[in-house]
Homo-oligomer: A and B are copies of this chain.
């Protein structure tokens, strides 16, 4: 119910996803039954694996997430999470309010054993690689141990979903030297060195586009600002380029001749390509699809969720978090609350 383009686009997207994924046994569409049925009526030949689950309410962008989840018991996101809680579904995809999804999933599913906080893992494409930015907005205030857990979860994501063999993990800071950072990142650095990660140390904003790292670890305040800055700048630069390239016939002709160059980049940078961020660390697979996603975005959201299920990333996360905790205990590195808590 949370998509910008309404129910029909979602139905079209999931119908195509079902064709692409014969391994899916059931796909629940949760929301206003009448709307869903009217969208389905527009498509001939309904897939028999598609089930409608009615929900009478919707979380809006104006709702305060935690409150709303408790009040709107029949919200579509709550009903979707219930399906996972009851074991009827293996993953949730939502285009709604990120805070609402997090609140519903956190409240009903809880976190995985050993994980304190769920983290939002967003895949960012660059010329030479993709990197995972975690946490890109779930946790405004973090402790060093949370950053360590994001590092472990992001590394599992890069390995299991992005198929990076030995993901390079870096902490986003203000300099590459060990001594650069705030209390939070300095302590997280100390923790990350002790566990089984391909930890490359601190990285700077410059490094994001130099294929130096596969997982970028930061708190959700910094991560959210970086994510939106990247998205804003990409839009800004390409909008600017378009304005300049259409300023006169000569430039237009040049742009036409070079159009494949722009197309290659825009296809790689298309936010619909990644399907949307996974909310890692929850006791269930949860994917946030962009509100603006169209059919292709929905299809990719289903693809990534299917991969998360098939690769059992939550089981892998549990194992690796347990291993990290053992190593921290063995190294007698007891995480201390940072001054910036």
Contact = CB atoms under 8 A, between A and B. Distances in A.
Interface of A: 126-127, 137, 140-141, 172-174, 181-183, 204-210, 218, 220-222, 224-237, 239-241, 243-245, 247, 250-251, 253-262, 264-265, 339-341
B240 A250 contact: no
Given A209-B233, A245-B261, A253-B257, 11 more contacts: A126-B236, A137-B174, A174-B225, A205-B233, A206-B228, A208-B229, A209-B239, A226-B229, A250-B258, A255-B261, A258-B258
Contacts of A183: 141
Contacts of A339: 141, 341
Nearest to A140: B182
Contacts of A205: 224-233
Contact of A141 (B173, B182, B257, B341): B182
Which 7 pairs, one residue from A and one from B, show the smallest C-beta to C-beta distance?
Answer: A209-B236, A205-B228, A254-B257, A254-B258, A205-B229, A244-B261, A127-B240
Contacts of A259: 254
How many monomers of this protein are in the complex? 2
20 contacts: A127-B239, A141-B182, A141-B339, A174-B221, A174-B224, A204-B232, A205-B228, A205-B232, A208-B229, A209-B237, A209-B239, A210-B232, A237-B237, A244-B265, A253-B257, A254-B254, A254-B255, A254-B257, A254-B258, A257-B257
Contacts of A221: 174, 181-182, 222
Contacts of A181: 140, 221
A127 B236 contact: yes
B243 A225 contact: no
A206 B250 CA distance: 32
Given A174-B221, A258-B254, A230 B233 contact: yes
Contact of A241 (B210, B230, B247, B265): B265
B228 A229 contact: no
Given A174-B140, A264-B244, A232 B251 contact: no
